Structure 1
Amino acid sequence: MRAITWILLLVSTLSFAQQTVSGVVKDADTHMPLAFASIIDSNGQSQIADVDGKFTIPAKAKNEKITVSYIGYQKKEVKIGTEKFVTILLFAAVKKLEPVVLGKKEDPAYDIIRRVIASKENNNPQQKLKTFQFKAYNKLIVTANPDSIDGKIDSVFIKKNDGPPLAKPDSSSFRFKKIISSQHLFQMEKVSDFQFADRRLKETVRGIRMSGFDKPVYEVVAFNLQSFSVYDSKYELFETKYNSPIANDAFSDYYYHLLDTVKIGGRETYLVYFFPKRKYRKTGLQGLLYIDQESYAVAKAVMRLRTVLDVTATHEFEYIPEEKIWFPTNKEFKIVKGKNDEDIRILGETFKFDADGKHTKRKKQSSDFTYLQSKYWYFNREYNKPVTISKSSVIMHVKDDAVNRDEDFWNQFRKDSLDSRSRQTYIALDSIAKKEKVEKKLRIGRKLINGYVPIGPVDFDLRYLLSYNNYEGFRLGAGGITNDRFSEKYRVEGYTAYGTKDGNFKYNIGTAARIGRFSNSWIGGAYTDDVREIASTSFAIDKRVFKLYDPRPINLSTFYAYQTWRGYIETKIIPKTESIWQLSRSVVEPKFSYIYQANGKDYTKFNMTTAMVSLQWNPFSDFMQTPNGKVEIEKRYPKFTFQFTKSLPGVLSNDFDFGKIDFRTEYQKKYLNGQKTAVFLEAGYAFGDVPLTHLYNTSPNSLTKDKVLQRLTLAGKNSFETMYFNEFFSSQYVMLQLKHGFKRVELFKKVRPSMVLVSRMGWGNMEHPEQHFGIAYKTLDKGYFESGIELNQIFKGFGLSGFYRYGPNQLPRFEDNISIKLSFILDFGI
């Protein structure tokens, strides 16, 4: 839902044509809708009704005759008058079509689809053509058809005290129709260059205009509402991938039915209807494929998804004789409200599609009429000519001057001239946005989601306000970082905190300068005087994550103090990576009873001078380059994180010669039925003289208490919930976590838990245990195992989970192996 969230957030923040006639085609005897009936006007222009038999005729077709046909039924001519909705009944021909039934004679559509699959390599432009390039104009609107809204001013009666009922006008539909008759709710235009070479397709955005915004919201610009190619084995529709109806294994997922033969561009095509094979796959694709009878290429495609939202994607092509290929000419995406028994809330109550109601009828609301439509026009196409793609590591590049295009630029490239409603949309929404300071509110909202409160040139960091642990007690503090209002080339950041239990102040101060815009490279330095959990695994490249609470530190009592000077470079210059390269010098002092023996000495305090590189590699993700930097717009798995740390012997009084190699990978797979599988693997290897403070504890999260309820705490993210703090330490370890989440189930009204099955296991070893004194611990050489069930979001964001420890490190008492945890998941909807 990320894409629609951002668009509807903009719509709801900013505000709240063409005349048409709608209709439906039905069987005259049964009154059942006839899916994909053909409608042809007097000018020969044709369209196809949707899966419900519904269609819309533009105003220019009024008072003209249309011809409606459907295979197996008699054709019918209908004159369109002044009515806004027509029902067209078709009578069956001599005999009706037999339904597709396994075991009977195979529908000829199956042989057609087999030929399509076998011919994909020769018909897919991205496989047959070495290079191609074209320009594209895109227009996206969120709007409604004024003619579909009643717009009456009704009255509702309100009883006040003991007096007579008072009539109060209910004019919401009237106001909505008045607004939508003169403008859209949201509008965006985009002009791009598409280039294809070396099996890569890149979009360069030359112009972008978004109603209500001087600078566009780049998350909206990057929306990939539908796949570019219909030949992809996984077809993407509204940010979800589905098995394509022409994938190599498509017959396991779809039924096919030959409807008719029609002409497209003067060439004969088969019209094939496809629909999900498994009845339980209510979210499977269905639609139409127009297949060239000679080449078995796709000449047109209609993909549809019917869930709580009704999504339709259309691809149109033109036959290029010299290349003997069908090349895309435009694509269109439309989303309207589907059937939903509950309100669809996005960003809380910011925007919602109202529920239909399971047992009661309700008056239609504005969300019943609202729809989103995006259409691309492709032009100036060139094939098999030399193409050089610059900065090919990003799939979309928004040029710096794209937001400053004048009206002459837009008039040059627009393929859909702006009508009065579209022109008024820019005027009205730009005015509203300026008056209501929409861009400022949106900027503040985005900062708040990430845990910042922007005040002038500084973003104050909410993480530092308040926390608690057993060593510091309540930790009170303040911190922040300068934003682009201060400078786009320089930044200053820092924090200070005070522990009520240890009575000490902690602080950090740092500054950095930007040395590369495309690579978003910074060089900086910082000084920190603070405390940290012992033996904790920390990847320097990890993105900042804001939490209303951080559960694990609450129960921590073993820390070490450190004073660190560091210089660093952070960059995204390596394709699909983020990295930090760092030199640091630290003075480390354990804040618990501990002695480390090395080089014939006993150390209770030590110096460390180290070099480190920390790298996040997302090889399967897609990235967009904007004037503000590089953004990951399509997160795909697996992802990999590497970190290598090496001490520098003899440099700045460094005490130890050691190294550390850390690795982490994550994988997620989402299923059409709402379930999700996640795999998390983390490993570390420390060699040389490494004190306990910098080894590994594998993230324990259980208290050493006798009773189960005494150990009741908040659950962590990737922690061992039955492992006691400081129970195990390792110099080498590997940890594996497997999770499988099921679709949320409604138990009672507003009680809809999401059940997740979890298993965790870890193995480790401690080299040179004789060097560590002052703390008792065990090793993971025999392995550690726990499994459990999470019931997340039982009510609102609150949940409950239970885990059980088993295997070689199982404890003698049964109840000591059980851990019960509370959880809270805050879902912003994006």
Structure 2
Amino acid sequence: MKYLFGILLLFSLSVQAQFQLNGIVKDAENAKALPFASISTPSGQNTISDVDGKFTITTLAPIREFTISYIGYDKKITLVENGKSFYMIALQQNTNNLQEVLIPRENPAVAIIRKTIALKTQNNPEKRIPSFEFKCYNSLVITANPDSISAKIDTLITNKKNVKIDSSNYKFKKMIQNQHLFQTEKVSLFQFKNNHLKETILGSKMAGLKQPIYEILGFKLQSFSIYDSNYELFETKYNSPIANDALKEYKYQLLDSIEIEGRNVYLIHFKNKKKKRAQGLEGVLYIDQNTYAIAKAVMRIKGVLDISGTHEFNFLPQENIWFPSKKSFKIVKGNNDDDLKLLGGTIQFEGDTEKDFKPRKKGASDFIYLFSKSANFEIQLNQPIELKKGAIALEISKEASERKDEFWNTYRKDSLDIRSKRTYTVLDSIAKKNNLELKITVGRRLINGFIPAGPIDFDLRKFFSYNNYEGFRVGLGGTTNDRFSKTIRIEGYTAYGTKDGTFKYNLGIGTRLSEPTNSWIGIAYTDDVREIASTVYAIDKRGFKIYDPRPFNISTFYNYKNWKAYIETKLIPKTESIWEVATAQVEPKFGYSYQLNGKSYTNYNMTTAMVSLRWSPFSDYMQTPTGRVEVEKRFPNFTFQLTKSIASGELNDFSFGKIDLKTEYEKKQLNGQKTSILIQGGYTFGDLPITHLYSISPNNITKETIMQRITIAGKNSFETMFYNEFFSSEYLYFQIKHGFQRITLFKKVKPSFVFVTRMAWGNLNHAERHNGLDFKTLNQGYFESGVELNQIYKGLGLVGFYRYGPNGLLKLEDNIAIKLSYILDLGF
């Protein structure tokens, strides 16, 4: 049986190779490669050569001849010879052919593109057609071509005592002949209505996994529409070659004129004017000569990774429009002089060919590529569509991972070959043997700061920390996971401070109300300490940090003993919220008292109702069977929090309220630069002690010299503002950051330059009520600017800021803060 399988496998490979031709197109006179030449067969199949003049054409039937054409050159028909799979095609120039397509006084390609841009709205299906839906079959593989890999076994080291054999390529070739490295399929329903496009995944199958990795299903390889102003390729956005301002950024060349579906189309090559040596978007647009719509598009980025995306369309005569029919996407390794490290593994690159690098022996990873293809079917236009959960961009049905063979045999556009079938069998077996799904679960939780141990996820943030009040804080904390219960959650922690000598703890229990909306209801008790005048948004996600630099020098804390009942939910579209009722006993742990109505409060009770809500109206969300996930974060987003006292007497010593607002905006430019803006404000009314007012994240210590004040920089903190220097009952904070592309100073030194400006204004009502601290107010405003040189070496960086304006200090050196920065790079 084993030998029979081997014979069948070799037969299938030979059949595939029989109908595939490869070649290169060159100028007959100077032997220069001709990029984007047209290659077509009598059966109507066509392709183009790449930027290096190379091409591949594959058909299901034998190819007897093919035609090569290129604008300004004579067409050439080449007969296919038995046993020959590679052809070098030399074309002769013929300038007379250019006269047929020249438009006076203007580059013909520019004139065509100008009309294409002008007619975008009427040719874009999402603008022209009120509603449509279709199903789509997609497959993705990570694999290699066995024929490109040498099966030779090499001797690396030979001497009298030691012989080392290198059989890595040999083993890899044997494996890749039998299977792919990874394989996944999905069937989706796409629906468009009211300018909103939604994808519902009806079926998904991922080799080696019973439950798919939802992050992979939500990964955006290429734009859905070729008409988007910013074209997206591998989750990176580029200015589209038919954007309104594209003529300023791209240069165009008319390559040829061919037929697609019986309609004449122009072939227009485009390339970014400013980008050199494969740094920008490049490709070919097939433009209908009558309607100036896109009939096909090839988009490519060639650099560290060689990435290409292809869009194909079918012409619908009744609507007189080209509608998307197929897409493909491919990644292969490119050229780069640095090895790429990814989560502990290393991918080696050959090095830039224009530099003097020593060639290295190619390993198995040099031949690996990712290939994805999609085919649309059952297309319906202008039909009544029921678009459920319209705020969701991607929804995964509960039955998606449970589909049987009948489902896949119905929707697959091509039946699986032996190699693909073998992939599912082998990877399922390997995954089961190596507990792959468990390892993926562990990896996800580690990234979020948890170590899973059976039914409990231990919180890495609770193990160890340091601040100037508690000293070293050591503890243990965590939460139960699905192995304990899918509907009940118990969480808590305990900690001990070596300096203050006291234990802190928390214990809470909750139950799930709704899985799709991530809704929980619960209660919790906490006895802990917190930095005074710190703004804490309950809805903010606590990202895991190996270190948190700010608390190192904070010594003013308050103790709170807090009971709370809460509901957290994502029920409202594009929002997440926490609704809470709490009662707390508060005791400042420094010499402080609050004077009110002739009474001095050194500790006090507070009972409050609070709602904390984040709204991300422009983000895209994925609805999975286990909850809702933000798959594409867009800006601006908005955070709102309202806290109001709700009781009197023994449960509440003060009547007060707090309103906190925050908005974040981030703009990633197409040249790799990034601008981010943060606006934050708070307003209190009623009677509030200083523990619950605002200090706006100061991060500077009181020392004599600049060198003595060197600490670790925070993220959004005032680096020149001293701790407890300012307090406010209402404030407005503004920050703008602009980051440039990383600059290579030396091979290992590549800093990222970020220019930062921060400013704040504030006011403190009834300052005379607060005793125990000397402080100022922000009535005249506070200003600092500086530069961050991040990731200079191994994640380490240097930060410098200067304080100026009305609150500038008399001594120049006191206005300067120099800090260290550290960015942990996990290789994602």
Instruction: Output the TM-score relative to the length of structure 1.
Output: 0.94
Q: For the Cα contact (< 8 Å) 1:153–1:170, is it kept in 2?
A: yes
Distance 1:666 1:172 in 2: 50
1:575 aligns with 2:584: no
| Aligned CA distance change for structure 1 residues 394 and 320 (closer, same or farther; 3 Å) | same
Going from structure 1 to structure 2, the CA distance change for 1:320 and 1:97 (only over 3 Å counts) comes to closer
Q: Which residue of 2 aligns with 1:489?
A: 487
Alignment of structure 1 residues 217-296 onto 2, 5 Å: 217-279=213-275, 282-296=278-292
Output aligned runs, 1:98-177, within 5 Å. Answer: 105-159=105-159, 164=160, 166-177=162-173
Q: Is the 8 A contact 2:48 2:55 kept in 1?
A: yes
Contact 1:62 1:82 in 2 (8 A): no
Distance 2:782 2:95 in 1: 72
Q: What per-residue deviation string (whole Å, max 9, x for no partner) do you get for residues 609-634 of structure 1?
A: 11111111111110000011000001
Superposition pairs for residues 631-642 of structure 1, below 5 Å?
A: 631-642=629-640
Q: Distance in 2 between matches of 1:71 and 1:208?
A: 44
For 1:290, what is the secondary structure of its paired residue? strand
Q: Is the 8 A contact 2:47 2:57 kept in 1?
A: no
Using the TM superposition, give the Cα deviation of residue 117 of structure 1 relative to its aligned residue in structure 2, in angstroms: 1.8
Partner of 2:672: 674
Indicate which of 350, 354, 367 corresponds to 2:349.
354
1:329 to 310, 325, 329: 325
1:703 maps to a residue whose letter is I
Shift in Å, 1:449:
1.4
| Distance in 2 separating the partners of 1:505 and 1:133 | 60
**Alignment of 1:643 onto 2:638:** no
Separation of aligned partners in 2, 1:198 and 1:148: 49
Compute the displacement of 1:29 (Å). 2.2
Whether 1:585 aligns to 2:621 is no
Q: Cα offset for 1:673?
A: 2.9
Q: What whole-Å deviation, never above 9, does each CA across 1:83-132 have from its counterpart, x for those lacking one?
A: 4543222222256979x99x993112222222222222211111111111
Task: For 1:112 and 1:217, locate their aligned partners in 2 and report how far apart those are by CA, in whole Å.
Answer: 43
Where 2:744 maps in the other structure, the secondary structure is coil
Partner of 1:49: 49
Correspondence for 1:617: 615
Deviation larger for 744-753 or 396-405: 744-753
> Equivalences for 1:541-580 in 2 at 5 Å?
541-580=539-578
> What does 1:131-530 align with in structure 2 at a 5 Å threshold?
131-159=131-159, 164=160, 166-279=162-275, 282-349=278-345, 352-356=347-351, 358=355, 359-530=357-528
Does the 8 A contact of 1:658 with 1:687 survive in 2? yes
Q: Is contact 2:699-2:721 (8 Å) kept?
A: yes
Distance in 1, matches of 2:525 and 2:765, equals 32
Q: What letter corresponds to residue 476 of structure 1 in structure 2?
A: V
Distance in structure 2 (CA, Å) of the matches to 1:85 and 1:155: 31
Partner Cα distance (1:104, 1:318) in 2: 32
Answer with 493-502 or 433-442: which moved more: 433-442
- Equivalent position of 1:745 in the other structure: 743
TM-superposed CA distance for 1:348, in Å, is 3.5
Equivalences, count? 807
d(CA) in 2 for partners of 1:110, 1:571: 52
Q: Identify the residue that residue 67 of structure 1 maps to in structure 2.
A: 67
8 Å CA contact 2:37–2:255 kept in 1: the answer is no
CA distance in 2 between counterparts of 1:270 and 1:532 reads 67
Find the residue that maps to 2:609 and give its secondary structure.
Answer: strand
Alignment partners' CA distance in 2, 1:496 and 1:659? 31
CA distance in 2 between partners of 1:124 and 1:90 (Å): 36
Question: CA offset at residue 771 of structure 1?
Answer: 1.1
Provide the secondary structure at the position in 2 that maps to 1:424: helix
- Are the aligned partners of 1:742 and 1:754 in contact in 2 as well (CA < 8 Å)? yes
Partner deviation per Cα, 1:687-744 (whole Å, 9 max, x = no partner): 1101100000110111111122211111111101111110111111111112122222
* Structure 2 residue 20 is matched with structure 1 residue 24: no
Q: TM-score, normalised by structure 2?
A: 0.94
* Superposition map of 1:73-92 within 5 A: 73-76=73-76, 77-92=78-93
Indicate conservation of the 8 Å contact 1:21/1:59, yes or no: no
Q: Give, in whole Å, the separation in 2 of the partners of 1:478 and 1:148.
A: 53
The residue matched to 2:725 in structure 1 has which SS?
coil
SS for the counterpart of 1:615 is strand
Displacement after TM superposition at 1:279 (Å)? 3.8
1:604 deviates by 0.8
Write the letter of the residue equivalent to 1:820: I
Q: 2:71 touches 2:254 (CA, 8 Å); kept in 1?
A: no
State the AA in 1 paired with 2:281: L
Q: Take 1:788 and 1:287, find their aligned partners in 2: how far apart are those partners? A: 41
1:197-236 per-position Cα deviation (integer Å, ceiling 9, x unaligned): 1111111111000011111100001111111111111111
Deviates more, 1:479-488 or 1:362-371: 362-371
- Bigger shift: residues 71-80 or 632-641: 71-80
Contact kept in structure 2, 1:283 and 1:673, CA below 8 Å:
no
Instruction: Write the letter of the residue equivalent to 2:672.
Output: G
CA contact (8 A) 2:583 2:607 kept: yes
Q: Secondary structure at the match of 1:316?
A: strand
SS of the residue aligned with 2:651? Answer: coil
Secondary structure at the counterpart of residue 671 of structure 2? coil
Q: Tell me by how many angstroms 1:494 deviates.
A: 0.2
Deviation (angstroms), 1:549: 0.4
How high is the sequence identity, in percent, across the aligned residues?
A: 59
Specify the alignment match of 1:535 in structure 2.
Answer: 533
Q: Does 1:816 align with 2:814?
A: yes
- Distance (whole Å) between structure 2 residues aligned to residue 331 and residue 796 of structure 1: 39
Secondary structure of the equivalent of 1:44? coil
| 1:646/1:659 contact within 8 Å kept | yes
Distance change in 2, residues 1:470/1:94 (3 Å): closer
Tell me which residue corresponds to 1:733. Answer: 731
Matches of 1:81 and 1:690, distance apart in 2: 89
Q: CA deviation at 1:337?
A: 1.2
2:648 equivalent to 1:655 = no
Counterpart of 2:5?
A: none
Tell me the alpha carbon deviations over residues 495-530 of structure 1, each in whole angstroms, 9 at most, x when there is no partner. 000111111110000011111122111111100000
Give the letter aligned to residue 325 of structure 2. Answer: T
Root-mean-square deviation (Å): 2.0
In the TM superposition, residue 365 of structure 1 has moved relative to its aligned partner by: 2.2
The structure-2 alpha-carbon separation of the partners of 1:733 and 1:348, relative to structure 1 and needing over 3 Å to count, comes to farther
Task: Tell me the residue number matched to 1:12.
Answer: none
Contact 2:474 2:497 in 1 (8 A): yes
Q: Give the secondary structure class of the aligned counterpart of 2:590.
A: coil
Residue in structure 2 matched with residue 4 of structure 1 by the alignment: none
Does the 8 Å CA contact 1:609/1:651 hold for their aligned counterparts? Answer: no
Q: Is the CA contact 1:590–1:693 (under 8 Å) kept in the aligned structure 2?
A: yes
CA distance in 1, matches of 2:749, 2:280: 27
CA distance in 1, matches of 2:415, 2:500: 69
Q: Distance in 2 between matches of 1:122 and 1:353?
A: 47
Q: CA offsets per residue over residues 242-263 of structure 1, 9 Å max, x none?
A: 1111111211111122222211
Deviation per CA, 1:150-169: give whole Å up to 9, x if none: 2222222245xxxx374433
Residues 173 and 365 in structure 1, CA contact (< 8 A), matched pair in contact too = yes
Q: Is the 8 A contact 2:334 2:349 kept in 1?
A: no
How far 1:283 moved relative to its partner? 3.1
Equivalent residue of 1:714, what SS?
coil
CA contact (8 A) 2:583 2:651 kept: no
Write the distance in 2 (CA, Å) between the matches of 1:626 and 1:651.
47
Q: 1:685 to 1:63 in 2, by over 3 A?
A: closer
> Does the CA contact (< 8 Å) of 1:151 and 1:174 recur in 2?
yes
Q: Deviations over 1:285-325 (max 9, x none)?
A: 22111111222211111111122111111111111112221
Counterparts of 2:694 and 2:126 in 1: how far apart (Å)?
Answer: 48
